[in-house]
Structure 1
Amino acid sequence: MWRFVVALVSVLIIASIALGQVFDVLYASEEPVQSDVSEQLSLALPILKMMAAKESLPILEKQPLQITQDDRNASLRLHSMDEYPLPFQLQQQLQRQEPVYLETQEQVKVHLLTNNQSILVYQYDKLAEQDDYRLSLTLIFYFLLVIILVLFLTPFVRRLMHLSDTAAKFGDGQLEVRLKVGTLWYIRDIELSFNQMANKINLLMDDIKLLAGGLSHELRTPLARIRMGLDTIVETQDEALRTKYEARVNQQLDDMEGLLIHMLDFARLQHSLDEATPLPLDLVTAVPNLVDLSFDGAVELNITPQQALIHVDQRYFTMAISNIIDNALKYGHSRCMVTIRQEKNEYVVAISDDGNGIDASKAAEVFKPFVRLNRQQCTGFGIGLAFSAKIIARYRGEIFAGVCTELGGTCITVKFPAL
């Protein structure tokens, strides 16, 4: 969510600055009134000083002089110091022959001290100001800011509503629904995370279905054999036959126990993979070490790159490759070859054998649990390649089954993104 916070704060700052610049220009329309006051004073002040310098002003002594100019009233008056009280500081300013300005919202007064110690007061009306739109402009500013925020939040809210609808459908059992990832960078991670979560849940549900179906299918045969063996043990009086069927029942029980252990391991695999910490691993070193320790020279190596770093957990990577090599040795005739090469931004590990090969139409099925293409020749529970496929997919790898043109058998190809 920090992306959304950054985007929201950025939009607020940019919008405030942009709108502020626009409204600054509008507020600047108040300046002509102030310039008019300054211009009026600059014109009248020299005349007023000349008048104040005269010994007497008989016209103003009798009555004030009214002046009308540009639709505003002006007047000149004489006041004695006693009649026109001013603060002491302003009186001192007049004594220094400095004009004293007093301004209200409607009028401007200029005071000068004459030679006979009277106060000459020039008073005039300000030009009528236009209506004060500052409050309106402030309200418009915030209104426009709210509109910008609404425009910014609208696609965000729309994507959240779509996310809510999709989550509701997913909760109702429509596990195939996914979000269409949009272009809003500050919510894109949330949509991707939802899709990843949905994929994991869907994968877990598929595993549960496979395990349930495979378990019911795999247990049916040993259970039938155990029932038949127990019936035979109960009915027969021959000790040799009884011993034989007891051994068969125990073998079937051992097979069932092994099946259950493998099934539980497969069920716990996804959780274990999520807890594992992937680290950089060099295929050029790891694969030969695995072959030397576990397969005692039974595997041929063909390594092209000098270094091949991938990002995996070494324990689970070893488990995945070991299962594939075991499978190749089990169903090959005499040769098994592991090739490591680089293709663009990927490293490829190819495990080939010289066995009977695999039908191209069934190549994808061998990576499903409990799948054995030839049950007469296959031993085990058909879960090894499913383990490998899940581990490889967890570390963003890909796995394929095909035909090896060099050895004539099966080739299992694994690809990992290079670091």
Structure 2
Amino acid sequence: MKRIFLIVLDSVGIGEMPDAGTYGDEGSNTLAAAASSAAFSMPNLQKIGLFNIDGVSCRPAAEHPTGAFARMTEVSKGKDTTIGHWEIAGINSQKPLPTYPNGFPQELLQEFSRKTGRGVLCNKPYSGTEVIRDYGQEHERTGALIVYTSADSVFQVAAHEDVVPVDELYRDCEIARKMLVGEHNVGRVIARPFVGKYPDYTRTTRRHDFSVLPPAVTMLDQLSEAGNDVIAVGKINDIFAGRGITEFTRTTGNDDGLAKTIELTERDFHGLCFVNLVDFDMLYGHRNDVEGYAKGLTAVDKAVPALLEHLEEDDLLMFTADHGCDPSTPSTDHSREYTPWVIAGPGVKAGANLGTLPTFADIGATILDAFGVPSKVTGTSRLSSIVR
């Protein structure tokens, strides 16, 4: 194999997993929710085999799918971005990352305030758009940082760019990242800059994630150590704290991520291009925006022909997801769902249905096998079932 393009449709789950009730996610089905909108149209991924996957019935299956496809089961304990991406890359996380439904310990925040020289506001689980509306004026008046969390393992810091310059906000988040170790080893510290005047504050695209290092070897480590290119697009570099990545580019959203990925299909390299399209989660899932979600998926589908155009015989294009975030349920949190794995390319076995696979890590093991790298990650390679 020469090039593999792995695109994570962030939060595009395809139906509740058997243990969804444990997570309060009974009935969640992100793809079906988006498909309920008149704005939803995915004929290109339909042709490849998206709606031929086990349990996916929100659109008719293709009679003669051109690609290979599977339903992926998350074996790790969690339903967040970090855990999901780590599992795709070959890590089975049986110890959940810490969450803070009642906010962070006061002694931790006191130390954070001492080191940053700024006070702290909020300290609760909160919607990212609502927290700046509810605390933005006080933040502007006092200069205190807005610290909040969610159902995920995150320590989020919001600040107005005119009050706290973005570089200073990043330094504050680096301080938090160094503090959050041991029992408080959260998955991500996230800088959330915003602009505007009350009540019309808006978050900017200069978000930055400071992630905990993966606890074990990943397919990215193995690929790069073997001399392959590992090109990260979007927040992939942040999720893996830069480890195992040879080149990265940030994006301002899905459209920018797709455009940069299409550019990379026209470029000669040898290895993996690993992409995250974050808008589904950040803009639509967490805001219960069914129509926005549907339009976002439609836009991705329209980009499929351009993504396929420059694929060579030894190239693969893969789509998957890291968890669900059903925009039609009362919850605004992630949901415990199966995810899709759809594979296209000139050498793919048309109509290969891999069924329901036991772990996201099969993706990482398959990619390592495709590049002839002996796998040290969990998961089983499915390469022989996918390519001719």
Q: State TM-score, norm by structure 2.
A: 0.22
Q: State TM-score, norm by structure 1.
A: 0.21
Higher helix share: 1
**Bigger RCO of structures 1 and 2 (CA < 8 A, at least 6 apart):** 2
